[in-house]
Structure 1
Amino acid sequence: MNDPSPLAARRRMIGYAQQDAAREAGVDRRTWGRWERGEATPYAYQLPRLAAVLKISVEELDVLLSRASGSDPRPAPTPAAPSLDDLDTAVADWAGLSPTTEPVRALWITEQDLAMAGQALATFRQFDHTYGARQNAGQVADYIERQLHELQQRPAASSEIAHQRALLTAEFCELAGYQAVDNGEPEKARTYYRRALHLTSVAGDRPYGAYLTAVNLGHLALHCGQPETALRWASAARSAAGTAASPLTRAAIAAVVARANARLQREDEATKLILEAEKLLDRGDADEPAWIRYFTHPYLADEAAHCLHDLGRPPAARGQLVDALHGVGPDRVRRRAIDAALLATTWVASGDLDQACAAGTEAVEYAARTGSGRCVARVTDVLDALRPHADHPAVHELLEFTEAVLPAALTG
């Protein structure tokens, strides 16, 4: 009798009973049965071993699995990314609604499952800080669509665990969105951020939703050259969070509102907000959520430096950048590259080419250690500002050094 499952037909062709094939693949027989019935699909890391068991290539296995699930083996078209106007609506909806009390669909997952996923998130974040998004953005996206999707399909031990799962998924989507920005893919970033914002409501975490709205969406709007939108979103987050958010969360939000005001040349308002953020930082304690603990005085100094740069005050910006570079850890390579590039820009604005090239060399060195598109773009901006002075010895040396270690910055 012909078996309707292509995967089962292949297993029988090579002489395996279902239990034997499952044992060789290192999975439970019930898992194998779900694969054959198209009710589940293997993880990416399981595919090579499964293909070896069935004595076929991974590509041939992909076709069998697609047929088993009744889907087309070709990837589905990517949904259109939301526009900034779409996100504006999402922010307005989020700001106007109370946290949902609707229970998340039942799952059988435990605190241990979430702890393992949390460890994976911490590892991905550390890799991102050190090496930039290009190195592991694909792995983060795959983890979201496979491992986290699988967690969504399983029953959970309690509603609290279900809410924690929603928040953890939101944090993964936040990271994926941030990496999309780093890779020059703002459309993909908008998709991930909108998904993360929705999940904060599912998790009932108003402060984290405010953080996403101000820090992630606000910075994205600034990146896209829309400071008015950034100001509107960050201000909405600041109002919605109120005093319920932790001091560090409120400090980070205030810093983005300051950035938007500085871009709009509202110096008094920007200065007031930076001072407010400094006071809030001093009130932070051990009870701060894990996702905001990175925001320290050196990170605020970076935000203040960008404000001062946008306001046309390079000497003051340099003072903040020195604090930022001295305070951020050596493993934060991308942050150090961006701040060194901004420092070089302030020296160009002040007409000191030698100092500009010294800072520019440091920026190139850091950027060459990452796969960060933003770092390359910042270095490119510095080099463009220095090109009119290419006959200056220090500038000539910097251009030669960049060509040797970071040629992408010369063609960006």
Structure 2
Amino acid sequence: MSIADRRRAQGFTQEGFAFAVGVDRRTVGRWETGKSSPQPPQRPRVAEVLQMDLDELDALLTSTGARPKPVRSAPSAYYGSGDPDEMIRREFLRLMALSGVIAAIPDDEAEALEGSGDDFGRMNGHLWQVYQLARTKGSVYPVVQSQLTALNDALREGRAQAGTLCFAAGDLFQLAGELAFDANRYHDAAASYSLAASASKEIGAYDLWSCALIRSAYVDLSERRYRRAADTLGFARRIALRGDGSLATRHWAAAVQAEAFAWLGDFGACEEALDEAEKVASLSGQGSNGRWLRFDGSRLAEERGARYLQLNRLDLAETALKDALTLAPLAAGHSFRRRGAVLVDLAAIGAKRRDSEQVMQYGLEALRLARISGSGYVARRLRAMTVELGNLGRDRHIAELKAEIGTLAA
């Protein structure tokens, strides 16, 4: 089978495939004739669209005469099949098994681990801060990968208690997963979240475990496995009840579960989950630690607006989303990713109403933010939104906006 055969089997024309991947149609033509092959940063998206894993894609490209360039093993080249990441994950699992980590430890010891001030904990906290402030999330990846390697070295050499290292791993693998998810590398993200959940479960760190499951559910949501996501999030909510009651973990799980229920069309369950999420306001203290748990309820206006949009309650959605922009403007620290998502949702409302001016007003601003930040998340949201633009006929400005969205890097 050739890449062209696989494309046709998935129901894509050359032009449609090029749009989905984010390249020019002539580029696809060169791939299919073997004159060139997808570059490493493009391959995850190509594999995703063709419903293949990266090894299968490489084999397919080789069989058609293309010479795919190997992905460098250096930390900065993290776009490929995840080879450095996979090696780190496998090494950690092997070392964890060899170290004889205790399967369950008393709750008081688990709490002590969560508050430990070890070097890995401090460095992890610093990396989360850098990640939050970074305009381009991928720039954080090399140092995160270096920290993961150092963690493996510490476990191998017995330089710290295995339980402490498991907690550090549950924390750091979640950050690695966030970076992979933002780069649209779902396989790597899911693998990192799974390992984070396993390490957290091993030592009974319930809030850390629950957060890993919440992040894993985001992968299911992105791949339209809504029932599976809802079930995972229900489990995360139950685990969080065994954790620290002063933390917002259970409320975050409810907020994300509301999205799954909205996609399932269950308005009642969605409202219940949103109402539970809003109870975060009743917590004493901050409720989050600014690292692997950052939910504080400040996003609930935009979350509620997005959920109403999914349920096609357009007036309710628009009111909530405009409130979100007013309450948290970019100048006040509203992240590019968050603001971009709100703008995309407002553009989608315009598309549903066949209001081309609203689409252009918000769509162009979201496009600008996607380019500035390099956020794969905002780019992905924009590409999904283009499905709605078919309602606007042959409007020239809308066609130009779609074309611009198609040029965003996968």
TM-score by length of 2: 0.65
CA distance in 1, matches of 2:142, 2:283: 38
1:294-373 matched pairs, under 5 angstroms? 294-328=294-328, 329-330=332-333, 332-373=335-376
8 A Cα contact 1:298 1:325, kept in partner: no
Larger Rg computed on CA atoms: 1
Q: In the aligned structure 1, how far is the partner of 2:159 from the partner of 2:287?
A: 26
Q: Cα 1:287–1:268, aligned 2, differ >3 Å: closer, same or farther?
A: closer
**Aligned-pair CA distance for 1:263:** 1.4
Rounded to whole Å, the distance in 2 between the matches of 1:76 and 1:276 is 40
The C-alpha deviation readout for 1:230-282, integer Å capped at 9, x for no partner, is 11111112123226443511110111222222211111111122112112333
Q: Shift of residue 222 of structure 1?
A: 1.1
Say if 2:208 and 2:292, in contact at 8 Å, map to a contact too. Answer: no
Structure 2 Cα separation of the partners of residues 228 and 138 of structure 1: 35
| Residues 112/251 of structure 1: CA separation in 2 closer, same or farther (3 Å cut) | closer
Secondary structure of the 1:184 match is coil
- Tell me which residue corresponds to 1:232: 231
Q: Equivalents in 1 of 2:103, 2:237: separation in Å?
A: 16
Deviation at 1:383, TM superposition (A): 4.1
Whether contact under 8 Å (2:352, 2:391) holds in the other structure is no
| AA partner of residue 294 (structure 2) | Y
* Aligned partner of residue 298 in structure 1, secondary structure: coil
Q: Answer yes or no: is the 8 Å Cα contact 2:229–2:260 preserved in 1.
A: yes
Is 1:205–2:205 an aligned residue pair?
Answer: yes
Q: Is the 8 A contact 1:248 1:281 kept in 2?
A: no
| Contact 2:205–2:243 under 8 Å retained in 1 | no
- Assess if the C-alpha contact under 8 Å between 1:210 and 1:238 holds in 2: yes
Tell me if 1:377 matches 2:380.
yes
Structure 1 residue 341 displacement after superposition: 0.9
Contact 1:173–1:192 (8 Å) recurs in 2: yes
- Report 1:19-34 matches (<5 A): none
Residue 216 of structure 1 corresponds to which residue in structure 2?
215
Percent identity, aligned pairs only, is 21
Letter in 1 for 2:239: A
- TM-score after normalising by structure 1: 0.65
Report the number of matched residues: 306
Distance 1:388 1:265 in 2: 22
* AA in 2 matched with 1:122: W
Does 2:166 correspond to 1:121? no
SS at match of 1:297: coil
Structure 2 counterpart SS, 1:277: helix
TM-superposed CA distance for 1:116, in Å, is: 4.5
Q: Deviations over 1:354-400 (max 9, x none)?
A: 1221111210121111222221122233345336647547536746x
Unaligned runs of 5+ in 1: 1-61, 63-74, 83-97, 105-109
Alignment partner, residue 285 of structure 1? 285
The answer on 1:141 being equivalent to 2:153 is no
Q: 1:287 to 1:187 in 2, by over 3 A?
A: closer
Q: Residues 124, 149 of structure 1: CA spacing in aligned structure 2 closer, same or farther, 3 A cutoff?
A: farther
| Distance across 2 between alignment mates of 1:321 and 1:234 | 24
- Note the residue ranges of structure 2 that are not aligned, 5 or more in a row: 1-72, 74-82, 91-101, 111-115
Which one of the candidate residues 118, 124, 131 is aligned to 2:136?
131
Cα deviations by residue, 1:340-362 (Å, 9 ceiling, x for unpaired): 11221112112222122111121
Distance 2:125 2:239 in 1: 30
- Cα drift, residue 156 of structure 1: 4.5
Deviation sequence 1:307-333 (CA, Å, 0-9, x none): 212211122122222233344453511
Give me the whole-angstrom Cα distance separating, in 2, the residues matched to 1:294 and 1:180: 18
**For residues 372 and 331 of structure 1, what CA distance do their matches in structure 2 show?**
14
Q: Deviations over 1:184-232 (max 9, x none)?
A: 221111211111011112343112211221x212221111111110111
Report if the CA contact (8 A) 1:314-1:347 is conserved: no
Instruction: Note closer, same or farther for the CA distance 1:395–1:289 as it changes in structure 2 (3 Å cut).
Output: same
Range with greater deviation from structure 2 (165-174 or 193-202) = 165-174
Q: Do the aligned residues in 2 keep the contact of 1:248 with 1:280 (CA within 8 Å)?
A: yes
Q: In structure 2, how many angstroms separate the alpha carbons of the residues matched to 1:77 and 1:151?
A: 17
Letter in 2 for 1:311: L
SS in 1 for 2:181: helix
Distance (whole Å) between structure 2 residues aligned to residue 172 and residue 115 of structure 1: 9
Matches within 5 A, 1:102-181: 111=117, 113-128=119-134, 130-132=135-137, 134-144=138-148, 146-156=149-159, 159=161, 162-181=162-181
